[in-house]
Amino acid sequence: MAPTKVKCFTWQVVKRACLTHHEVLQKKGRVVVTRYFLCNGTGETNNHLFLHCKFTTQLWNLFLSFTKTEWTMREHTADLMSFWMRRGGGKSQKKWRRLIPSCIWWTFGRERNQRCFEDKSISLQRLKINCLVLIYFWRIHEYPQEAEDSRFLLLFEAVSGLRVNWGKTVVSL
């Protein structure tokens, strides 16, 4: 299960209530050149940040392939969440799959803030690994019996290049 602060953040994303860098500085009375901190595009918006940025799209595609979901990316975050919540599957599958949008948005929101306010950044590969690790820990917190789900561990190995020791779920280089 996602932490409460992540659930609140997800709600803000869906309601388009997350302030962009431009909006934050504008409220402080500063004039800025609007640029997007992940892909260096112009005009940072919630929909671009959380749905259409080339970095975000790659992470969405990773999870879409993992869940065997084919679709066209929605225009707005609310449309995406509505579609995502209506997806079929068993009860356990629905519960953990609903973590995916929150995990993607939380990961990219944090990375955006680090680039924007702390002048720090990590690679797309590292973002993918961070997101996978985060959703894994949220998932095993909810379903401890699924800690060694081979599909997830194979995906983690493929993305990270790390080898997972299947017997004890220990990650080694």
Q: What are phi and psi of 170, to 5 degrees?
A: -105, 130
Q: pLDDT tens digit string along 124-163?
A: 888 888 888 888 888 877 766 666 666 666 666 776 666 6
Average pLDDT, the chain: 77
**Residue range 8-46, pLDDT digits in tens:** 999 999 988 877 766 666 677 766 656 666 777 666 778
Instruction: Tell which residue, 159, 117, 121, 152, has the closest CA to residue 137.
Output: 152
